[in-house]
Structure 1
């Protein structure tokens, strides 16, 4: 057993230069992203998104823009169900939910919102985009916003092509459904 451990350590030391920072902490970059409604009649959905763009800067920070119209007040509990798959050797394989990434059910998106006691960040305030629940009926547009994200040692492992569906609901009523496909680099 000791011999096997020594051999594995030697291989890791030899392969380390070849991995070239594969496991070093870095930001995940978003390549191409497509986004469209999966509803039969998207214009009838109580919540609608359009002109959504999510990409990363060369430094790995998120650039987000888009618009949302909600015909109902969005309040707790606001559920999101995500079904995600990753292309591995030409096959679409389900991605399990790990640390809120993958095929996850979020029972209440409002629990991720900023507390009402805390002011929204200036970028959202400037464009009247709410960051608290409930979100009143209306149209909200973020022309372009840059958000800082931290790096991860899993960036190399996460790299690949993905596709998925997210369905938003409240109290059993479907609010919106969208398909997305994207690459992570």
Structure 2
């Protein structure tokens, strides 16, 4: 689940997470059953849809992703549950190629990579994770509770992220992230070999 959360964070909030420190890098853990992702503008996300766009030979597949309520009001509560599996050990360098498209006049327009936001390539997620959470440190909650990893390599097996609540406060959006429908694809590769592929679609309305 860690790579799913990273993909979601990258596509919406770009590199802002890299400026955080300590165990708050992945959110301020205020209560055993409540996490806080640090964000800053009132928005509404809805019409969620997802699919596993990976090939049959991919070593990682997402079998379930649930995000509710739909729409999500920000600031407000968000509940996330996910599950997936890997058929082999996944190690770095693990590249993420993020593609962000926005619907405009019935057409899908690719959003370019601007200052770490949009359709960007992240050469090594394993390195990013080691920078965010130095090796030897405990993984942040709720990953520790669910015995989920936060560093590479990711072991072969099944991964489950049970339904978990997060509180999302205000978020400051990049200028291109205006009202409309969006589709985001995260393609993970290891030495140019596809590892996993996930697509997410949603609508956005800010105020």
Answering whether residue 59 of structure 2 is matched by residue 46 of structure 1, we say yes
Q: Which of the numbers 140, 146, 149 marks the counterpart of 2:159?
A: 140
Structure 1 length as normaliser, TM-score? 0.73
**Deviations along 1:82-105, whole A, 9 cap, x unmatched?**
222101222211111234332111
**RMSD after superposition:** 2.5
Q: Whole-Å Cα distance in 2 between the matches of residues 147 and 118 of structure 1?
A: 23
* Matched-pair contact (CA < 8 Å) for 1:47–1:71: yes
Moved more, 77-86 or 53-62: 53-62
Task: Give the aligned partner of residue 130 of structure 1.
Answer: 149
Aligned length: 159
Task: Give the aligned partner of residue 183 of structure 2.
Answer: 163
Task: Give the aligned partner of residue 47 of structure 2.
Answer: 32
Q: Which of the numbers 78, 86, 102 marks the counterpart of 1:86?
A: 102
Answering whether residue 128 of structure 2 is matched by residue 112 of structure 1, we say yes
* Matched-pair contact (CA < 8 Å) for 2:181–2:201: yes
Decide whether aligned partners of structure 1 residues 138 and 40 sit closer, same or farther in structure 2, where only a CA change above 3 A counts.
closer
SS for the counterpart of 2:184 is strand
User: CA offset at residue 80 of structure 1?
Assistant: 1.1
Answering whether residue 90 of structure 2 is matched by residue 74 of structure 1, we say yes
In structure 1, the gaps of 5 or more residues are: 1-24
Answering whether residue 111 of structure 2 is matched by residue 95 of structure 1, we say yes
Q: Which has the larger radius of gyration?
A: 1
Moved more, 144-153 or 160-169: 144-153
In structure 2, the gaps of 5 or more residues are: 1-39
Q: Whole-Å Cα distance in 1 between the matches of residues 141 and 53 of structure 2?
A: 33
Task: Give the aligned partner of residue 200 of structure 2.
Answer: 180
Q: Report the structure, 1 or 2, having the larger strand content.
A: 2
Q: Whole-Å Cα distance in 1 between the matches of residues 127 and 161 of structure 2?
A: 22
Task: Give the aligned partner of residue 13 of structure 1.
Answer: none
